[in-house]
């Protein structure tokens, strides 16, 4: 082996083996963070000059050199390759090639440990608002469908068994609530990401008179992290984001599962357009809901990212350990998969038509059993437990007779209770059932209409993605 040529190689008499280099190189992943790395480096260089740690002329040369490197990377004139160890050293080496030894002064008062934590947090400050707005698009499409089908009735389910009639709009609004909470979680993660670790150095801080508040402000952070060890040695911000992405994917998967079921001939509740379905290579009649199935399938990748991060961090002593290099792949995969899945679900909703007549025909019959019990309780004063028992007997009788509840005669009903009168049949109308709902948040048509109005006023994006140009 030859003498080490690494920027950190002064302590070493021999170079790292090729196998070790390939095994430890992270450039294939952290190369994606070059914009963030250069942005942080420019802020650091400017602060070094302002604090007279280096001269202002040296700081200006470094900043100009970094801007040139950014242009080279953007244009493809300078490309990362497998010979490079990581994004930080690759950029610093290129900078030194361009401006000479003064490029080596850029690393004064900092470490790759606080660099990478800064890069990741800056990346999340760009990525989280995109996810937030992707979720907003899903909410918007759900609200459009809810308004379009505001009068449509469908069977509500528990245990995947028909339970009670509800408005389709009310069902869709349940998902709106879920994704609204997901947006709140994303906003919460962003507030905790918005703290600068730059200046923590390796883990103990630095003896140079740096100004952490200055660099935090210039980069766009709201504040700084208070403890230098914590600043470089935790990845809870990635774990929290992966957890939030996992919850989003779980919500997407549940919706995808329902759309898949509803698109079958057995349900027939929805028809998806050709834009989001595929065919079979041997069965010409098939129209497969593949995009919804892929959303459902990709959940495992995001769950895996969360478990990956949790497992990586669970046994690490303070402070930085090289294990933490393994945080990039799950970070990128969770963000990209969740963003793509949200975008796809918005398109699926846009390209889906609900079959109103099929849904409404399924929202009658046995689904009115609860209304019969409520009739006995509200109109006739029968204790609920007794009313429930009577109604169960009626449902069993109707099933044996092969009839729906509205096909039974008044005499049939009176076999089970003398309380039944002709007005029982008024209670067997699904629309009356919905109109009778009085509790807040229920499927009452007026309440659903008002809920749509309120939700529409709250879907405007409240987070703006951070845009920056390093050149």
Question: Which CATH number applies to 17-108: 3.40.630.10, 1.10.275.10, 1.10.260.40, 3.40.50.300?
Answer: 1.10.275.10
Position 27 scores a pLDDT of 83
Dihedral of alpha carbons 126, 129, 134, 135, sign: positive
Own/partner contacts of 151-159, CB < 8 Å, gap of 24 or more, are: 151/445, 152/354, 152/356, 152/359, 152/360, 153/359, 153/360, 153/363, 153/430, 153/431, 153/434, 154/269, 154/359, 154/360, 154/362, 154/363, 155/359, 155/362, 155/363, 155/367, 156/443
88 is catalytic: no
pTM of the full structure = 0.90
Of the residues 17, 24, 60, 280, only one is catalytic, namely 280
Residue-by-residue DSSP string for 316-365: PPSS--GGGGGGHHHHHHHHHHHHHHHHHHHHHHHTEEE-HHHHHHTSSG
- Judge whether 412 and 393 are in contact, CB under 8 Å: no
**HEC letters along 114-145:** HHHHHHHHHHHHHHHHHHHHHHHHHHHHHHHH
Position 457 scores a pLDDT of 85
Architecture of domain 365-436: Orthogonal Bundle (1.10)
CA distances to 118, 336, 449 from 304, rounded to whole Å, are 24, 14, 39
17 is catalytic: no
Distance, first Cα to last Cα, the chain: 39
- Judge whether 41 and 123 are in contact, CB under 8 Å: no
Own/partner contacts of 369-376, CB < 8 Å, gap of 24 or more, are: 369/394, 369/395, 369/405, 370/163, 370/164, 371/427, 371/428, 371/433, 372/405, 372/424, 372/427, 372/428, 374/427, 374/436, 375/423, 375/424, 375/427, 376/417, 376/419
Reduced to 3 states (helix: H, G, I; strand: E, B; else coil), residue 290 is helix
Hey, what CATH class is 113-203+221-361 in?
mainly alpha
Of the residues 2, 159, 281, 457, only one is catalytic, namely 159
Cα-based angle 60, 65, 70 (whole degrees, multiple of 5): 125
Position 465 scores a pLDDT of 56
Position 200 scores a pLDDT of 96
Position 17 scores a pLDDT of 76
Position 107 scores a pLDDT of 94
Q: Which residues of the chain have pLDDT under 70?
A: 1-16, 284, 460-471
Q: Fold identical between 17-108 and 365-436?
A: no
Residue-by-residue DSSP string for 187-248: HHHHHHH-EE-TT-TTTT--SS---HHHHHHHHT-SEE-S-HHHHHH--HHHHHHHHHHHHH
Q: How far apart are CA 231 and CA 446, in angstroms?
A: 51
Would you list the domain boundaries of the chain?
17-108, 113-203+221-361, 365-436
Position 1 scores a pLDDT of 37
């Amino acid at each position: 082996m030859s003498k080490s040529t690494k920027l950190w190689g002064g302590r070493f008499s021999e170079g790292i083996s090729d196998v070790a280099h390939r095994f430890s190189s992270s450039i294939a992943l952290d190369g994606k963070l070059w914009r963030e790395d250069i942005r942080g480096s420019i802020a650091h260089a400017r602060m070094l000059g302002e604090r007279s740690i280096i001269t202002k002329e040296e700081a200006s040369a470094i900043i100009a050199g970094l801007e040139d490197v950014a242009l080279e990377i953007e244009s493809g004139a300078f490309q990362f390759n497998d010979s490079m160890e990581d994004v930080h050293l690759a950029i610093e080496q290129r900078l030194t090639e361009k401006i000479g030894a003064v490029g080596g002064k850029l690393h004064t008062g900092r470490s790759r440990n606080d660099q990478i934590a800064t890069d990741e947090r800056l990346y999340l400050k760009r990525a989280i608002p995109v996810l937030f707005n992707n979720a907003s698009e899903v909410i918007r499409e759900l609200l459009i469908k809810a308004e379009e089908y505001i009068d449509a009735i469908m069977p509500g389910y528990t245990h995947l068994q028909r339970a009670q009639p509800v408005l389709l709009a009310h069902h869709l609004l349940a998902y709106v609530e879920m994704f609204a909470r997901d947006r709140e979680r994303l906003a919460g993660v962003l507030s905790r990401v918005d703290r600068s670790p730059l200046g923590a150095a390796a883990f103990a801080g630095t003896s140079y008179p740096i100004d952490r508040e200055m660099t935090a402000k210039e980069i766009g952070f709201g504040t700084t992290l208070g403890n230098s060890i914590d600043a470089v040695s935790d990845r809870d911000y990635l774990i929290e984001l992966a957890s939030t992405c996992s919850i989003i994917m779980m919500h997407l998967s549940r919706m995808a599962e329902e759309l898949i079921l509803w698109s079958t001939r057995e349900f027939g509740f929805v028809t998806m357009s050709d834009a989001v379905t595929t065919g079979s290579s041997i069965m010409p009649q098939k129209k497969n809901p593949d995009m919804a199935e892929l959303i459902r399938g990709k959940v495992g990748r995001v769950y895996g990212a969360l478990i990956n991060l949790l497992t990586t961090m669970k046994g690490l002593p303070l402070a930085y350990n090289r294990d933490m290099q393994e945080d990039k792949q799950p970070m990128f995969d969770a963000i990209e998969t969740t963003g793509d899945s949200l975008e796809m679900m918005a398109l699926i909703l846009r390209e889906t038509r609900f079959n109103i007549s099929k849904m409404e025909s399924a929202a009658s019959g046995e689904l009115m059993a609860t209304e019969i019990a409520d009739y006995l309780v509200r109109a006739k004063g029968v204790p609920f437990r007794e009313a429930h028992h009577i109604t169960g007997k009626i449902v069993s009788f109707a099933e044996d007779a092969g009839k729906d509840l509205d096909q039974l005669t008044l005499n049939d009903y009176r076999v089970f209770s003398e309380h039944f009168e002709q007005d029982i049949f008024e209670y067997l109308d699904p629309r009356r059932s919905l109109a009778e709902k009085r509790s807040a948040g229920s499927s009452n048509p007026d309440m659903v209409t008002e809920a749509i109005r309120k939700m529409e006023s709250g879907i405007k994006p409240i987070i703006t993605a951070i845009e920056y140009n390093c050149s």
